[in-house]
Amino acid sequence: MQPLVLGIETSCDETAVGIVHGRKLLANVISSSVEQHARFGGVVPEVASRAHLEAMQQVIAQALKDAKVNLSDVDALAVTAGPGLIGALLVGVSSASGLALGLNKPLYGVNHLSAHIAVDALDNEEKIQPSIALLVSGGHSSILQVNNLASDVIVKGATIDDAAGEAFDKIARIMGLGFPGGPVVDREAKLGSKDAINFPRGLTHANDLAAHQYDFSFSGLKTAVARYLQQTPNYKKADVAASFQEAVVDVLLQKSIAACKESGIDNLVIAGGVAANSRLRELAQERCSSAKIRLRIPPAGLCTDNGAMVAALGSLAISEGINPSQTGISADSAAGISQVIW
């Protein structure tokens, strides 16, 4: 029998609840406090925590309504226990713990990064493992070898400075495009030329590859864009956006495809908020089909933070026979990818 799992996500500025039945997505409700943070140019932790408290009950109620189930039908709870903003995480963990205790149902504290990858399994009959995963979000950018998402993930490389999403956010800020930067740069780039400016591709030269074959660096690119803006008074925003985006996407894909080839794994999963990027999706399709790599990217709406991914990982943990978390688990703001279930 497939379990009905309710997943809660509050690691950043989205209060999100998803409900899955096995691998079938039944509900995905998101309430975002992004507008309250926009004028600060970044997420303000205390504001995010308060917004989670205010939104939680309503978001849970809406998800149950959308899924056409009652709270008493839920077989298990899942919640993001890390990494993320500690105050924000604690609102989700406390809510989920209260529900689990009240309903006398198991609770799975899950890793946010693994959950981004787990969402790929929803409504997908075929499981692709082992796979190489490119995980690109606002806080993380890494290349992983996923032998088993719940128990065997090897980190092949990661960013040595900014995350890919953070680079989009910073570039959008210096060009005055707004926050969060990813979606606005993506939109602006459609109006410009990706070949207008040849921005640097970090850690792709032969002398860097020896030590950093699968690592990323975006700080040099950020400096190059800032210098270009300073030196070019009449720059075209759309050209800068498109050329910057191309530099990021090009490096992400060069390294992911190299990781597939070197490891002999011809499955690539791209996940995390930046996987919503339209140019990344398009170029990944092109390069993977010429390299004969099977590509999977979740629908754009499931790439950015959501509750469905948390429920999906909870459901996976149950199907793998993993024990639920202890009552009274806490959150870990700095959890690494090796801690999948608490």
Q: Which spans of this chain sit near ligand KG4 (rule: CB under 6 A)?
A: 12, 137-139, 165-166, 168-169, 180-183, 186, 272-274, 276-277, 304-305
Torsion angle defined by CA atoms of residues 318, 321, 323 and 325, in that order, rounded to the nearest 10 degrees: -20
Q: Closer CB to ligand KG4, residue 95 or residue 277?
A: 277
Q: Closer CB to ligand KG4, residue 76 or residue 340?
A: 340
Q: What is the DSSP letter of 11?
A: S
HSE-CB at 239 with a 13 A cutoff on CA atoms is: 10
Binding-site partner at residue 250 among Zn ion, ligand KG4, none, CB < 5 to 8 Å by type: none
Cβ distance 180 to 14 under 8 Å? no
Q: Closer CB to ligand KG4, residue 201 or residue 209?
A: 201
How near is the Cβ of 111 to ligand KG4 at its closest, in Å?
A: 11
What one-character-per-residue DSSP string does 17-49 give?
EEEEETTEEEEEEEEE-HHHHHTTTS--HHHHH
Q: Closer CB to ligand KG4, residue 100 or residue 188?
A: 188
- Pick from 32, 111, 137, 141: which binds Zn ion (CB under 5 A)? 137
Calculate the alpha carbon distances from 126 to 23, 281, 291 in Å: 11, 20, 21
Q: Closer CB to ligand KG4, residue 218 or residue 342?
A: 218
For the sheet with 131-136, list strands across it. Answer: 152-158, 141-148, 131-136, 267-271, 294-296
Alpha-carbon distance of 324 to 251, in angstroms, equals 39
Q: Which of residues 24-83 bind Zn ion (CB under 5 A)?
A: none
How near is the Cβ of 110 to ligand KG4 at its closest, in Å?
A: 13
Q: Closer CB to Zn ion, residue 197 or residue 309?
A: 309
Residues with Cβ within 8 Å of 108's Cβ and at least 6 positions away in sequence, in order, are 76, 77, 78, 79, 313, 314, 317, 318, 322, 324, 325, 341, 342
Strand stretches in 52-97, DSSP E:
76-82
Count other Cβ atoms within 10 Å, centred on residue 328: 9
290, two tokens: 């010429």
- Pick from 186, 246, 305, 332: which binds Zn ion (CB under 5 A)? 305
315 sits near Zn ion (criterion: CB under 5 A): no
Binding-site partner at residue 186 among Zn ion, ligand KG4, none, CB < 5 to 8 Å by type: ligand KG4
Binding-site partner at residue 276 among Zn ion, ligand KG4, none, CB < 5 to 8 Å by type: ligand KG4
Q: Closer CB to Zn ion, residue 18 or residue 192?
A: 18
Binding-site partner at residue 188 among ligand KG4, Zn ion, none, CB < 5 to 8 Å by type: none
Residues with Cβ within 8 Å of 74's Cβ and at least 6 positions away in sequence, in order, are 4, 5, 6, 19, 99, 103, 105
How near is the Cβ of 281 to ligand KG4 at its closest, in Å?
A: 9
How near is the Cβ of 139 to ligand KG4 at its closest, in Å?
A: 4
How near is the Cβ of 188 to ligand KG4 at its closest, in Å?
A: 11
Binding site for Zn ion (CB under 5 A): 137, 305
